[in-house]
Structure 1
């Protein structure tokens, strides 16, 4: 089978690697120039986009911010999975909020702002501590502004003054005090079959995911059921095909949806070593109409993102059950260069391995490793 992925970054690369044992050939589209490339080495393939679309058995995406003209062109083929509506729900926060509200899914209190003057009313409605998000093209902390008191409002207004808010409105959310962020990654097949991974806990720094612990410690059956019910409602409403990630804020016994991602997701990378079937293989299985694989956890896992620096020394692989995944990129600030998966028999053993890895992982690039992550693992 042939699969075409819109986007040629590390997610397309990992889907291509997962496809090899299944006999699925994956090619990718560089969305900046519409050239078809090999997702492993990024070399251009001698095939035009139109021909690649025609030759593909299935087409999918590695991220949701696909140029509209390209998405429309691919959508006309009838091979795009998940659907363009699903991709739009993840790409546009206004549409995402409308979807959540339609399904009565709890999320952060918010207002939509398409004029700077409306920010005063947003403060009056939601309070002085707000997070202001561009409705499109914002991720990893980009396209976001934080208001901690109304005295900052003139500064925020000045920063937003040149934006076309009629074209790209703002979603202004009340900044909530939550216990932690957790996420659920799952797959849905064309026949409605579901394969759900466990809830995982995510640790962020400056708006980017740095560490993921799977399964999340101290998750109750009630929280799992709540997350799975929300996931199921979303995928059924969208008639979704493929892998979907749902990020939640936990507030006591309640989960609020932070955002959805209609694709394979950073918080599912642990599944490459920690689950029976990884998220990349299950995404390919879903869009190629193959039975979904088991999501059973093989071992507790930690995923560490390598961000903004060269890959660490491969001497780190001397620590048992440590796996390095490099993305073949040139370092720059906030750029994801790879990730490290660590598995163990239990959380305590994971903590021991992470302490050993500190020798090769400087705190300046792994700021959650020495504090939050180790503290989190010591609760078990």
Structure 2
């Protein structure tokens, strides 16, 4: 038997890892709580609870190493598996990323700018924090929030009680609102041999807290800004002895990058790399955890990615657009659910924008 990679989580990111790994002769086994997890379309899927030691043991049997495709994997399960298998990225990265307070404190300790933040346990903590952050501010759960979930924007004192009624009673973090000019992300990759590579900065556009569109490389990005992003990502990876793909979401404000949060895994804002880069983030993640030479991260012209959220467009209409590539995850279509994405690739920004307008018009016909 060749190399068998275990993946905690069986969502679309895991599915795309398997698709990238099969040309390299790799085998995969996934663990997920949902029997309909998309990765099960391509590889063995062990279904169970993360607290089920017997299910985890069955999953781990015969594996060569372990990775994960989402950052909310219970640390106890990872620690148990790490006793018998190499785990990449390291569990310490999970621990930092799972708690927004720990994450912001970690960034601060590395000298990376972040919004002003304040831990909140009680209603009085919230009032004290608002005296420091001012208005507007964001109240967020410290754990489990994603795609805009678990957070409320506090524009004025009128929003206070409704936000507390929704989120109070659990560990929270209050963050000052950053009047950013745009949202960016940097994808970095580091191998077990210490080799490091960076993808170009990506410009991200969100709707209702969910990533809707990414443009790569980010328009109007200077070499200085790219270098700034790479250096802060390098600091994070070196401190964590990181292995694999790392995504850091950033705010740009007056030429300075502020860290919002990090994801110790392949990332939605890196989907453009499937057709838009010499080596996709998924293949480079696998190369990194296996200690293989990393592939080139150079872009192949200009690229865009649009998430399909709660909609199934007419595939033929999408594919008749030049440079369009459709990725369908095989998930049931529900409002607010990511069920696929489309990437576009073009040689010039002008052609990309024309194709993007055409694609957006097609998607608007079936938008949730």
Q: Same fold (TM over 0.5)?
A: yes
User: What secondary structure sits across from 2:145 in the alignment?
Assistant: coil
CA contact (8 A) 1:54 1:77 kept: no
Q: Pick from 88, 91, 108 the counterpart of residue 101 of structure 1.
A: 108
- Given the two structures, how large is their TM-score scaled by the length of structure 2? 0.93
Q: Pick from 123, 132, 141 the counterpart of residue 125 of structure 1.
A: 132
CA 1:126–1:316 in 2, change beyond 3 Å: closer, same or farther? same
Partner of 1:177: 179
Partner of 2:149: 142
How many angstroms apart in 2 are the aligned matches of 1:311 and 1:264?
A: 25
CA contact (8 A) 1:134 1:171 kept: yes
Partner of 1:376: none
Q: CA offset at residue 327 of structure 1?
A: 0.4
Q: Which moved more, 1:307-316 or 1:268-277?
A: 307-316
Partner of 2:50: none
Q: CA offset at residue 296 of structure 1?
A: 0.9
Q: Pick from 339, 351, 354 the counterpart of residue 353 of structure 2.
A: 351
What are the Cα deviations for residues 15-52 of structure 1, in whole angstroms up to 9, with x where unaligned? Answer: 0000011011122101458x999543576469954244
CA 1:236–1:149 in 2, change beyond 3 Å: closer, same or farther? same
Partner of 1:228: 230
Q: Pick from 303, 311, 323 the counterpart of residue 325 of structure 2.
A: 323
How many angstroms apart in 2 are the aligned matches of 1:185 and 1:22?
A: 22
> 1:73-112 to 2 correspondence within 5 Å?
73-112=80-119
CA contact (8 A) 2:117 2:174 kept: yes
User: What secondary structure sits across from 1:248 in the alignment?
Assistant: strand
CA 1:311–1:88 in 2, change beyond 3 Å: closer, same or farther? farther
Q: CA offset at residue 64 of structure 1?
A: 0.4
How many angstroms apart in 2 are the aligned matches of 1:216 and 1:23?
A: 34
How many angstroms apart in 1 are the aligned matches of 2:365 and 2:252?
A: 27
Partner of 1:208: 210
What are the Cα deviations for residues 112-148 of structure 1, in whole angstroms up to 9, with x where unaligned? Answer: 1111221111111110211111010000000001100
How many angstroms apart in 2 are the aligned matches of 1:319 and 1:230?
A: 37
User: What secondary structure sits across from 1:155 in the alignment?
Assistant: helix
Structure 1: segments with no counterpart, 5+ residues: 367-380
CA contact (8 A) 1:178 1:251 kept: yes
CA 1:71–1:149 in 2, change beyond 3 Å: closer, same or farther? same
Q: CA offset at residue 329 of structure 1?
A: 0.3
Q: CA offset at residue 360 of structure 1?
A: 2.2
CA 1:155–1:52 in 2, change beyond 3 Å: closer, same or farther? closer
CA 1:160–1:48 in 2, change beyond 3 Å: closer, same or farther? closer
CA contact (8 A) 1:63 1:263 kept: yes
What are the Cα deviations for residues 88-127 of structure 1, in whole angstroms up to 9, with x where unaligned? Answer: 2111112111211111111111101111221111111110
User: What secondary structure sits across from 1:361 in the alignment?
Assistant: helix
Structure 2: segments with no counterpart, 5+ residues: 48-53
User: What secondary structure sits across from 2:362 in the alignment?
Assistant: coil
Partner of 2:51: none
Q: CA offset at residue 355 of structure 1?
A: 2.5
Q: Pick from 150, 153, 166 the counterpart of residue 160 of structure 2.
A: 153
CA contact (8 A) 1:270 1:341 kept: yes
The aligned length equals 360
Partner of 1:40: 41
Partner of 2:266: 264
User: What secondary structure sits across from 1:117 in the alignment?
Assistant: helix
- Given the two structures, how large is their TM-score scaled by the length of structure 1? 0.90
User: What secondary structure sits across from 1:272 in the alignment?
Assistant: helix
